Structure 1
Amino acid sequence: MLIGSAAWAQSSDDVEAARKKKQEEERMNQDWACLKCFAEANSKVVPPAAGEKRVVFMGNSITIGWLNTVPEFFNGKPYINRGISGQTTPQMLIRFRPDVIDLKPSVVVILAGTNDIAGNTGYTPVETIYGNIVSMAELAKANKIRVVLSSVLPVFDYPWRPGLEPIPKIAELNAKVKAYAEKNGFVYLDYFSAMVDERKGLKAELTYDGVHPNKAGYLVMQPLAEAAIKTALSKK
């Protein structure tokens, strides 16, 4: 009886996993950039109040992970999270207007690139990833939004796509983004240096899978993000 119950539970899990996979595939076919993901939430965002210094966080699972892991970081602050798990820079670029510009922030914090390197939406060279990040920054600047460009976090290997050897690509992308930020008066938010281990991966105590921060990881990131936002707001 127990064996039968275990088998039924396993079968039920497989069915649910297959259903979710099919649902995600259908969504990707119909709404590749996930423009619908925040459409309802965006419709409820009112213009900033007088003196409000709104900040939008644009990114992937590491960005949305703030809300799941350390939600108190956002509590009582004019912060809006627009992270979508698994997203790459072309997807973010497509949704940048509705999910950032139209929300009228004073600052945007962009964290992007790791999923491109992991090949989530196919092969993308570093130069193209960089170009997409630059395009988002330039859109923000054109709309009088101050820009914080985050480094990609260190990764030794992606568990869902092992063997890609991401270390040199992450280093190249971070160097390009840092140089671009410095040249254009944007703020470079360096998570990498505070979180890297001797293998050039993410410190074991700061992650649960080698890619995504755990609570300890976000607690390292929090003061760095706050300092970067403060610096961006001080710029004219």
Structure 2
Amino acid sequence: MKLIYLLPLLLLTTPAFSQEKADSAKEPTVIKGDYRDDWADLRHYEPENKTLPPATANDKRVVFLGSSIFEKWKELVPEYFSGNKNYLDRGISGQISPQLLLRFRQDVINRKAKAVIILAGSNDIAGTTGHVTNERIMDNIRSMTELAKANNIKVILCAYLPVFDYPWRKGLEPANKIIALNKLITAYATANKLTLLDYFTPLVDNRNNGQRPELTLDGVHPNVAGYKIMAQVTDEAIAKAFHK
């Protein structure tokens, strides 16, 4: 008796189920991009690079190549870059020196830069698993410098900003590591007659070799006041590089 009542119910629901299955089969399959092979995040600035006007012979295009220090700069003080049409910010948050090296052709050479500011090293130190050394960071800086020279691009190397501790990775004691790295960068810049851009000295808190509290957001990234100081020394370094 129960089967008699159940059979009509099944006959009523089966077509609806079949139609639903057919409709779902018509929906396009969405394939998400697999960017594991783009470890250096080359795609990050591809759209902006495509819309960038070609550089003229008289343009003195300067590329700021780095990580979050540069990326946050154009977020907090966008007028610094919009007011200097030849300044191209190519910072990507979290990047380490080998990623900057991989991006060098796309974001510096192919942009017809006349000068490049290379700010590298802190994220290597912050993300260290024991394999990162200052010498390996310097190898990447040397390679970028040699690429720039081969393409007649003036090189401006940065003495890195002071950091006492990383909020996201406490206890690494980066202050002395950054000081040691800056000594290597300074010596290399001097030996190769490169322009040195010192971000460390005007921002340092001499009590702990971190950043002065009134100039930083979190002890790592400058605030607006900090970026104003950076802007001044940056403009001076760029002027010096073009007069060498």
For 1:216, the equivalent position in structure 2 comes to 225
- The answer to whether structure 1 residue 90 and structure 2 residue 60 are counterparts is no
Deviation, structure 1 residue 121: 7.8
SS in 2 for 1:170: helix
- Return the alpha-carbon distance in structure 2 between the equivalents of residues 73 and 215 of structure 1: 11
Is the counterpart of residue 143 in structure 1 residue 151 in structure 2?
yes
TM-score of the aligned structures, taking structure 1 as reference length: 0.85
Choose from 207, 210, 213 the match for 1:204: 213
Instruction: Tell me the secondary structure at the aligned position of residue 175 of structure 1.
Output: helix
Give the direction of change, closer, same or farther, for the CA distance of 1:45–1:121 in structure 2 (3 Å limit).
Answer: farther
Q: Out of 159, 181, 187, which is 1:179 matched to?
A: 187
1:102 aligns with 2:110: yes
Q: Cα distance, 1:41 vs. partner?
A: 1.6
* 2:239 is aligned with 1:230: yes
C-alpha distance after superposition, 1:192-219 (max 9, x if no partner): 0111102000110111110000001101
Query: Does residue 54 of structure 1 match 2:58?
Result: no
Q: Distance in 1 between matches of 2:171 and 2:128?
A: 14
Q: CA offsets, 1:105-157, max 9 Å, x none?
A: 11101111100010168741111011111111111111000010011110001
The alpha carbon displacement at 1:35 in A equals: 0.8
With normalisation by structure 2, the TM-score equals 0.82
2:156 counterpart SS class = strand
In the TM superposition, what whole-angstrom CA distance separates every residue of 1:174-194 from its partner, at most 9, and x where no partner exists? Answer: 000011111111100001011
1:71 corresponds to: 78
Using the alignment, how far apart are the partners of 2:69 and 2:130 within structure 1? 20
Give 2:127's aligned amino acid: G
Distance 1:143 1:121, change over 3 A: farther
> Does structure 2 conserve the Cα–Cα contact (< 8 Å) formed by 1:116 and 1:123?
no
After TM superposition, give the deviation of residue 45 of structure 1 in Å: 2.5
List aligned pairs for 1:187-198, cutoff 5 A: 187-197=195-205, 198=207
Q: Which residue of 2 aligns with 1:31?
A: 38
Alpha-carbon distance, 1:50 to partner: 3.1
2:140 maps to 1:132: yes
Structure number with greater Rg is 2
The residue correspondences of 1:156-175 to structure 2 (distance < 5 A) are 156-175=164-183
**1:114–1:97 Cα change, 3 Å:** same
Report what 2:24 is aligned to: none
CA contact (8 A) 1:206 1:216 kept: yes
Q: Alignment partner for residue 163 of structure 2, among 149, 155, 169?
A: 155
**Cα distance in 2 for residues equivalent to 1:57 and 1:47:** 18
What does the per-residue CA deviation read over 1:37-84, in whole Å, with 9 as the maximum and x for residues that have no partner? 111221222331231111110000001112111111112321111000
CA RMSD in angstroms, aligned pairs only: 1.6
Runs of 4+ residues over 6 Å off in structure 1:
none
* Runs of 5+ consecutive residues of structure 2 not aligned to the other structure: 1-31
What secondary structure, in the 3-state scheme, does the structure 1 residue paired with 2:210 have?
coil
Distance change >3 Å, CA 169–CA 163, structure 1 → 2: same
| Alpha-carbon separation, structure 2, partners of 1:50 and 1:90 | 30
